[in-house]
Amino acid sequence: MAHPADERSLPLAAGEHPPVPGATKVSSTDMAERHHSARTKARKAALDVLFEADLLGRDPFESLAIRLDDPEQVVREFTRELVLGVRDNAEQIDKRIGAAAPRQWPIERMPRIDRNLARIAIYELDHTEVEASAAISEALELADELSTDESVAFLNGLLGRAAQSRLTQSRPERTTDEQ
């Protein structure tokens, strides 16, 4: 996602027409040049696999297997963990997303990118030792780059609610001796 400060208007080339009247051609920062940590790259690769599987309506393992069989592609262990973890816990993860999402935005209505970013983050929140703030921050960073302008705020609220409910669920009951 380009930010207004990263954009500048460009003149149209000879014979080039705007897609809609009044549209301008802009130059923006190429996100491919951004430097990410290995774990962020693994999350992005997991998002690619999960998005593809969601789009094609197939098991995420099939999309992962295609990449694993390709000698040109390197698939990080963390990518495998995320894809398989989301797949193996899909029902529970989608229930958590549904419980944290606003009623007017059920999981089926969410953009595929947002839905799969939420799945990865919920998996990390519930099934790994990753700090909640790190899992949420990573999801928001990828949403900022890859999804709509509203996605960051939407996912921030959804994942914040999911993290809160996780914290309340995982707190041990206090005994009468501790009170």
Q: What is the pLDDT of residues 80-95, one digit of tens each?
A: 999 999 999 999 999 9
Checking if the pLDDT of 5 tops 50, the result is no
Query: pLDDT at residue 111 above 80?
Result: yes
Q: Which domains does the chain have, with CATH numbers?
A: 36-170 (1.10.940.10)
Q: What is the DSSP letter of 103?
A: T
Distances (CA, A) of 21 to 9, 11, 13, 27: 15, 15, 16, 19
Q: How far apart are CA 168 and CA 179, in angstroms?
A: 18
Tokens 């207004």: give the residue.
4
Task: Give me the residues paired with residue 87 across strands.
Answer: none
Q: Are 168 and 162 in contact (CB under 8 A)?
A: no
pLDDT tens figures, 50-105: 999 999 999 999 999 999 999 999 999 999 999 999 999 999 999 999 999 999 98
- Cα–Cα distance measured from residue 65 to residue 32, given in angstroms and rounded to the nearest whole number: 25
- CA–CA dist 22, 163 (Å, integer): 43
Contact in structure between 144 and 152 (CB atoms under 8 Å): yes
